[in-house]
Chains A and B, each alone.
Chain A
Amino acid sequence: MLILKQSLFEQIQAHGARDYPNECCGALLGNDGGTDRTVFGLVPLANQRDDSPRNRFEITSDDVRLAEKEASAKGWELIGWYHSHPDSPARPSEFDREHAWPWYSYIIFRVEHGEPQEMRSWRLDDNRVSYAEEGIEYIAGAPA
């Protein structure tokens, strides 16, 4: 289960709405508790795919290092990523699968005509063949 505060959920949605019709992306910072993970904060990032931002996103290794430093500074871990699918389902594409890393939680959410819709979270299996969906539990509260 991925535990996500309502305020962070709204921030992710707002990012997707703001960047529509392009894909937005960002880092999830929090704690991996084994069975459940909790998101404590976000690092919204720039989509580096200037050539095809409507259906592709990329976060550079420099930005990954930045997100890791932010997590470490707060005593958290970098536990995953979020990105939007403009006018497309909130599930991983083949392109997502080919480029994914195991272990991370991948939040994908649909933005339909600029309006955020369903949000789902996924984890790549160890063999890179498929994803397992992890439920998202929304809780009240402001960002940590």
Chain B
Amino acid sequence: MAVKVIIPTPLRQFAGKQESVNLEAGTVGDALNALTSQFGDLRKHLYSDDGRLRSFVNVYVNDEDIRYLQKEKTAVQQGDTISIVPSIAGGAKA
């Protein structure tokens, strides 16, 4: 399925300065794998060392958070938009 992946501003420098990338994928996980295969420098910002999506990386299919769907196994349809949206976290030393 042809889908569009929206790249958040802080990561566009690693995706050829593009705001979005068109990809072929069957699931969200497939799309993110295709994205990071094409743009390898994105991987460390999206995934932690154990291969999981970082907790502050939020992924939506159209307007639905994949955490409430099938997570990275969420199927995508032709023309879907996958958005990567940051949440922001931090804090002083414990």
Contacts and interface: CB of A to CB of B under 8 A. Distances in A.
B87 A83 contact: no
A103 B13 CA distance: 8
Interface stretch (A3-11, A59-67, A113-121, A134-142): A59-67
Contacts of A58: 87-89
A50 interface: no
Interface size class of A (residues with CB under 8 A): 35 or more
Contacts of A100: 90
Interface of B: 8-14, 41, 44-45, 54-56, 58, 65, 85-94
A8 B77 CA distance: 45
Contact of A101 (B45, B91, B92, B94): B45
Given A78-B9, A101-B45, A95 B90 contact: yes
A95 B94 contact: yes
B86 A55 contact: no
A16 interface: no
A57 B89 contact: yes
